[in-house]
A and B are shown apart, each in its own frame.
Chain A
Amino acid sequence: MKSGVWHQLGDKSQLVAYEQLENGVGVGVAVSARDLSYSGAEEHTAKYRALGAEIIFDPQYYLPAYSNNKLETYPFSSLRLSAQRLGKITDDNLSVLAKSLEEINRKTGSIAIVAPAIIYEANRPDILSINKKLHAAAKKAGDALGIPTFGTVILGSSTNKTTDQINSCLADILDIKADGWYYSFEFGDERIPSTHAEVYRCAVAGLTLAQTGRPVFHAYAGPMALLAPAFGCIAAGVGHSQNIWQFKRERWEPPQGQGGGGDAPSRYFSKDLWGTIVYPDEFTAMPVALRNRILCASPYTAALTSAGDSPLKRWDSNKHLIHTIATAVQPIFAQRTARLAAAQAIAILDVAIKTHADIAVTGLGLADKTSSYQYNWKLALEALVAQHKDGFDYLELIR
């Protein structure tokens, strides 16, 4: 698996990913069955691969009873069943699943099978048992195609309240014979996770997975991709949409209400903030010196100046965000060790913390709680490095 930032599809972003790849941004694409039809997946992945990108196909099985019109185009859609029914899935149906996974992964040219899996919940040994069966079916597909099979590990909020709880859950999960891990963590209801303890636990779980010696893909990482290489991941999925900046089960539940974001003003992602500000409102409210610090060039914002008088189109804002995160994080993935990656991530966070402090001095309060997480992420990484010395040493030993 190519190391670095992958495009995590999930919100009409297939063309965005294509454009980024054309500009040399991103090393792969994680295709979402929830958001791209069978024929669309085949069509787009061929284009991505032509640009040198690697592909993985996420069957989006997390809440398997959920379906939508995109998912229904896949041959395995009839096997989207409740956990209770999946517990009784027959060998014949598992064979059907294996065959359909083989087919779609062949057509998309995937470099690894992402095993279907339900979100892990506390005190639910049945889920482990189901996921083992689903993994075995995926493994058949992987073996048939001669590619690795990644175990999908989504630690639901009921399993990740304490590190002991996580360890207990991972002890069972790690018995699965996976060739890699497709990992994500369900946080609280925030736009970007900000709680130090939660981010720390997410990192500890990732570090544990990395110590298996198998590649770990941090799925739905969003801006947290900055932290992924520091806890041993070799790749992270980044998309423009807030919906996929972390694992949110709401995406796989029946929609509530109208949704949408209407005509909210564009957000501008700045490396020096490691976050977004409202453009132009918040941007132009700052002193010019701060505006100059916050601006970071990308092909999508070349016209922007510290005057803040150029428009920032919504899609340019999205593309700029991915470009900025990817170009900042890709060199961190190239670090020789996770420790060095942690140091580099902390350095970026230090800059962001300082910039936010300087903004706060001006009396300007940013919307979206943009300054709420950088300091806590730094604390989480520092705690990880200090308290898991053996884990980092072991990663170096098995490298």
Chain B
Amino acid sequence: MNYVLPIDDVRAAYPNFTIVKALTPSAQKAAFHAKDSAGRDICLKIISPDYNIDRLGREILALQKITHPNIVRLIEYQYHVSTAGIKHYMVEEFIDGSDLEVLLTGKMTAAVAFPLFAQIADGLSELRKQDIVHRDIKPENIRVRPDGKPVIIDFGVARHLGMDALTRTSQGAGLGTPLYFAPEQYNGTKYDIDHRTDLFAFGTILYRAVCGEQPFLRPGMTDRAQLQDAVCNSADHETRPDFLALSASAQLLLKKLLSKDRAGRPQDASQVAMILRKLS
């Protein structure tokens, strides 16, 4: 269940911000489009009291290290206790535009998809440089600005590979969104989750964008076990007409991104970005 706060309560509790509207919340954060005291558009994320503090630590740490056009910028983080109560929130750059999910209602042409996804790959490449695995790459976590530039958001389950103390969660491998899970998120341990896990999710979204449907989801699937089986064992997505209609190079890139085996995937998002630009 998502963490939802009434907008009027937020207006009352956060008078320093002018709340414009509520955004899609997540399980751990209520999100609002707001303006700060200088009138700048920002994204105010109020953190649920149930939020895993270790995980939050990862998110803050991850975001603080990054300045990249395809990754959301963290402006402020506050954990403030007073007689009036606890204020626990973060302020991110407001990304105007829409979720990538909104743009995936139909099939994108390669000419539209590849330049867009090359930029997302640029963002993933920056994450790799900083030793960060997002672990929840999905269309809802990619905002597309009005000028078409995509931005990766929501590092709630990100793992910073250099921070052992913050990664010792028993459920480490299984966090994320099953629809975009890599095989190692079903079968592996947390040690198997790395930047190539994000590349698998990226491949799943790219497949959906250019083929018009999820690679592993089938009509009639009723439970997670069936999806898991398809993700871990099926190559049926390579036989669909929409896939076969792609150029041989695009097919090859998707096959590699969706390789069951991490060693078989591209090892670097910058390589993926380069290929997508070559194919654009």
Contacts and interface: CB of A to CB of B under 8 A. Distances in A.
Of B262, B267, B275, B278, most A-chain CB atoms within 10 Å = B267
B221 interface: no
Interface stretch (A4-12, A48-56, A168-176, A361-369): A168-176
B249 A397 contact: yes
B264 A167 contact: yes
Contacts of A167: 261, 263-264
B274 to A, nearest CB: 7
Contacts of B249: 393, 397
A213 B268 contact: yes
Interface string A373-394: 0000000000000000010011
Of B248, B271, B278, most A-chain CB atoms within 10 Å = B271
A397 B267 contact: no
Nearest to B161: A175
Contact of B274 (A211, A212, A390, A398): A398
Contact of A212 (B192, B261, B268): B268
Question: Chain B interface residue count: which class?
Answer: 20 to 34
Interface stretch (B81-89, B172-180, B201-209, B250-258): B250-258
B194 interface: yes
A170 B192 CA distance: 12
B275 A397 contact: yes
A208 B271 contact: no
Contact of A390 (B196, B256, B263): B256
A174 B271 contact: no
Interface in A145-192: 167-168, 170-171, 174-175, 177
A398 B275 contact: yes
Contacts of B264: 167, 208
Given A390-B252, A393-B248, A393-B252, A398 B271 contact: yes
A170 B252 contact: no
Of B191, B196, B253, B264, most A-chain CB atoms within 10 Å = B264
Contacts of A397: 249, 252-253, 275, 278
Of B249, B252, B263, most A-chain CB atoms within 10 Å = B263
B275 A212 contact: no
B262 A174 contact: yes
Interface of A: 125, 167-168, 170-171, 174-175, 177, 208, 211-213, 390, 393-394, 397-398
11 contacts: A167-B261, A171-B263, A174-B262, A208-B263, A208-B264, A211-B267, A212-B268, A393-B249, A393-B252, A394-B252, A394-B256
